[in-house]
Structure 1
Amino acid sequence: MKSIHSLLFLVVTTILLFAGANARGAVKALPPEQFFPVYDYQNDWLVYSNQYKNYVPFSKGINEGTKSVSLYIDLLKNRRYFLLVKTENESYLFLEGALQKKIVADQWLELNIDSLFRIYKKEELLLSIYGNAGIDDKDVLICHKKSQDASGIIEKTASTLINIKPINFSPFGNFSILAMLIILILNAWIFNVNPLAFSRLINPLEFFNNDPREQLSKLNKPYSNTVIFLVIIVSMLMAFMLVFFANNKLNLFSVSAILSEESNLIQFLVDFFMLSAIFFLLTYGKFIFMVLVGQMLNLDKLVETLFLKIIQSSYFFYVALFLLVFMLSLNNAIWLVPLRPYIMFPFLIFYVTRFFTLYVVTKPPASFINLYLFSYLCVIEIIPLIIGIKFAM
């Protein structure tokens, strides 16, 4: 009986030892010493389903032969952490469906979550690995980088760190500085050529002046040099905003269809000048339209005054917007990500406010309600606004 108990004890001990060995073998590879693991994505793998046209959880019984597996990485929640990727076999790393790097077998690749957030400007990033079938040879971890003292460990960044995009001053930042210099030079040149006219045009008090004896149209005509160059400046400001939005993946008016696909300084400048020319022609096209409608409503005497006030208000609004965007986005525009659904609100508020303000400042003092003027402003301001909002998004 005693020998039977001893035999049972030996069998149980052997089973436990083998189970412990298997359990130790199942533990995934640990990250380098300078990293502390925060989260393991081993149970979060996804595969693309042609049936559902979407990503579905990886199933070991069904998807073992799949060579491409994916993960959704929450960039916003994991700020200040690092993403570590390792495969036992040579594989390929894809981010948002684009090939980024060949993964060397048994070597950790380090991705800075903050850098990924700045580059892709998305809260969630799709990471895919193409290589050996299944997920057993793949490790993806969220890790915290330990702080090191002055005699800390020398990191092997040359072989492990992936530069998804060069971490340097962006081409758009260089373009922004050049655009500001061009606009400042134009402002200074117009002021030197005709200081009195330009000073009145950019004076906010002149916009609200409705004295018929002191109207800007008596000193400046829509086709005078000062006004033409002011329209050029306003066109450049509007063009800059469109280039900025397009660079941040916000395709207003489907403008990306006519913009360059490459993102370098020269292409930004070409797009900028092309859009400036388009806005300039549209502005004077609007002036011709205003003249035609004004003649039909017997308001042709107000057309030049209204046009100058429209240019004035656009100058004030877009200069303020340009300076705000320039200061906030010289390197990156992370602040734009949560504001994407509301990006049209400032423009909508501006144009509606301008509509009512133009009515007040151009209405003859003797009349309380001028239906002809109100109808005229609806045709030249509200109808284009409605059409613009419809095609903007």
Structure 2
Amino acid sequence: MRRGLAVLALSLLHSFALSLFAQTTRNGVGPEQRYYAVHSFADDWLVYDEAAKAYVPYLPEIHADAPAVSASIDLESNRHYQLLLYTDTDTYVFINAALKKQLLGGRWYTFSIDSLYNAYRQPRVLLSIYGSAGVAGKQMIMGYPKSILQKPVVLSDDNLSVRPRTFSVYQNFFGLGLLFLLAIHALLFSLYRRAFLVLYDPRDLFALRVRDESFLINRPLSRTVLLFLLSLSFVMGYLFLFVQSRNVNVFSSRTLLLDQQNFGALLLYYLLVSVLVFLSFLGKYLMLQVVGSLYRFESVVNIHFFKVVQSSLLFFTAIGFLATIVIFNGPTIENLTNYLLIPFTVFYLVRLVLLYLVIRAQAPIKSLYLISYLCIVELVPLLIGVRFAL
């Protein structure tokens, strides 16, 4: 009998809680009740346990006097939502242990999940509220803004929770981008087959004796070379967005790229990065001309530029192929930066040695002058680039 009464009491309490949540869902939450409640963090609070050296679930009997409470916010799964915060006393908000904002008591505050994701580039962040004991008077809700033109939606079943389907704009972009790159390379192979076979030949790359009268070398800014440079720029732009999609910001790309992540914005980013890469190659050739004239290396400048273009085409095309496998078939790679540094460092060091051997075989140049020339045009830009990339 007592067991039956206990079950009945629990059922009544559960029904009462569901009715309160359903009423809140219908009426709205947050400032002026302008948001639909997606998820409440009332049962997700955490506190830091000094003994365990870790965050543990909040228990009113133990942590009622805790000066700070925290919650893990899933940014990746809650894109386009708003995080709503309310405290009845003045408190401070910390995100990943860094002070974010002061909250005045008795007011609602909203944080855009998209903005937080773009700022931190992490799937989850730890939000902490410091300044008052326990969780009394604190509310944190994941909400979705109501539309002014939207008609009220009446749910027939209060237990049903419907959320927008998550989708990956990057995935769609990479699929079309791959087709675009394949079309460009197929067109170059059809129109400039001889140049294609030379530029993409590893044996020709490592050949120390170079024919400087070759049409690809003696005319470095010809239409053929510029078209292959443009295709290389498209490949590098593709790789740039691939790295960006894995939350690795290269050259402060958060300030370079816009905040939107729809397909049109990604296409704009792609064209912008590709144009910048293309202009950087032209700037490198201009730098080779200037430094080469200072060292009186005019005869090897074109060979140097040709080897740079040829090695870059082979390396970045191979990296692009591996990136495509990872995008469509491979698992998510944690700490991608560590995996990027090794192949890129090896590539630039091997290319530096190759350039030294090729130029040394072309003309009787003193090694000290040649090393100084290569350090200025190869190592210094590389060191500066690594400094700003990391």
TM-score (norm 1): 0.62
Letter in 2 for 1:45: L
Distance, in Å, in 1 between the alignment partners of 2:166 and 2:357 is: 51
Q: CA deviation at 1:258?
A: 2.3
Deviations 1:1-49 (A, max 9, x none): xxxxxxxxxxxxxxxx9xxx9xx99xx98xxxxxxxxxxx9796239xx
Distance, in Å, in 1 between the alignment partners of 2:123 and 2:279 is: 39
Counterpart secondary structure, 2:252: helix
Q: CA deviation at 1:162?
A: 4.7
Distance, in Å, in 2 between the alignment partners of 1:183 and 1:220 is: 27
**Counterpart residue number, 1:354:** 351
Distance, in Å, in 2 between the alignment partners of 1:366 and 1:295 is: 15
Distance, in Å, in 1 between the alignment partners of 2:184 and 2:257 is: 24
Deviations 1:243-266 (A, max 9, x none): 222333322111221212111111
Q: Is the Cα–Cα contact under 8 Å of residues 246 and 256 in structure 1 kept in the other structure?
A: no
Q: Is the Cα–Cα contact under 8 Å of residues 93 and 128 in structure 1 kept in the other structure?
A: no
Deviations 1:364-387 (A, max 9, x none): 268696332222111110010111
Q: Is the Cα–Cα contact under 8 Å of residues 220 and 305 in structure 2 kept in the other structure?
A: yes
Counterpart secondary structure, 2:126: strand
**Counterpart residue number, 1:103:** none
Deviations 1:313-346 (A, max 9, x none): 11111111111112212388621x2333453332
1:60 to 60, 64, 67: 64
1:188 to 186, 189, 192: 186
Letter in 1 for 2:237: A
Alpha carbons of structure 1 residues 99 and 212: separation in structure 2 relative to 1, 3 Å: closer
Distance, in Å, in 2 between the alignment partners of 1:197 and 1:70 is: 61
Counterpart secondary structure, 1:252: coil
1:383 to 371, 380, 384: 380
Question: Is 1:374 aligned to 2:378, yes or no?
Answer: no
Q: Is the Cα–Cα contact under 8 Å of residues 184 and 231 in structure 2 kept in the other structure?
A: yes
Distance, in Å, in 2 between the alignment partners of 1:381 and 1:157 is: 65
Q: CA deviation at 1:204?
A: 1.1
Letter in 2 for 1:233: S
Structure 1 range deviating more: 212-221 or 270-279? 212-221
**Counterpart residue number, 1:159:** 160
Q: CA deviation at 1:61?
A: 3.4
Distance, in Å, in 2 between the alignment partners of 1:275 and 1:74 is: 30
Distance, in Å, in 2 between the alignment partners of 1:314 and 1:274 is: 20
Alpha carbons of structure 1 residues 322 and 45: separation in structure 2 relative to 1, 3 Å: same
Letter in 1 for 2:178: M
Q: Is the Cα–Cα contact under 8 Å of residues 215 and 305 in structure 1 kept in the other structure?
A: no
Distance, in Å, in 1 between the alignment partners of 2:231 and 2:123 is: 36
Letter in 1 for 2:183: I
Alpha carbons of structure 1 residues 368 and 125: separation in structure 2 relative to 1, 3 Å: same
Unpaired runs of 5+ residues, structure 1, are 1-16, 30-40, 48-53, 76-90, 101-119, 139-155
**Counterpart residue number, 1:70:** 70
Alpha carbons of structure 1 residues 218 and 240: separation in structure 2 relative to 1, 3 Å: closer
Structure 1 range deviating more: 182-191 or 211-220? 211-220
Q: Is the Cα–Cα contact under 8 Å of residues 201 and 216 in structure 1 kept in the other structure?
A: no
Alpha carbons of structure 1 residues 375 and 250: separation in structure 2 relative to 1, 3 Å: same
Alpha carbons of structure 1 residues 127 and 390: separation in structure 2 relative to 1, 3 Å: closer
**Counterpart residue number, 1:225:** 223
Unpaired runs of 5+ residues, structure 2, are 15-41, 49-54, 76-82, 87-94, 96-109, 114-119, 140-156
**Counterpart residue number, 1:210:** 208
Matches of residues 110-121 of structure 1 in structure 2 within 5 Å? none
Distance, in Å, in 1 between the alignment partners of 2:189 and 2:279 is: 23
Q: Is the Cα–Cα contact under 8 Å of residues 294 and 300 in structure 1 kept in the other structure?
A: yes
Counterpart secondary structure, 2:270: helix
1:339 to 336, 339, 343: 336
Distance, in Å, in 1 between the alignment partners of 2:125 and 2:212 is: 59
Q: CA deviation at 1:238?
A: 1.6
Letter in 1 for 2:70: S
Q: Is the Cα–Cα contact under 8 Å of residues 173 and 331 in structure 1 kept in the other structure?
A: no
RMSD: 4.5
Counterpart secondary structure, 2:71: strand
Distance, in Å, in 2 between the alignment partners of 1:277 and 1:128 is: 42
**Counterpart residue number, 2:173:** 175
Counterpart secondary structure, 1:61: coil
Distance, in Å, in 2 between the alignment partners of 1:253 and 1:160 is: 41
Letter in 2 for 1:167: T
Which of the two has higher C-alpha Rg? 1
Letter in 1 for 2:356: Y
Distance, in Å, in 2 between the alignment partners of 1:240 and 1:355 is: 25
Identity %: 28
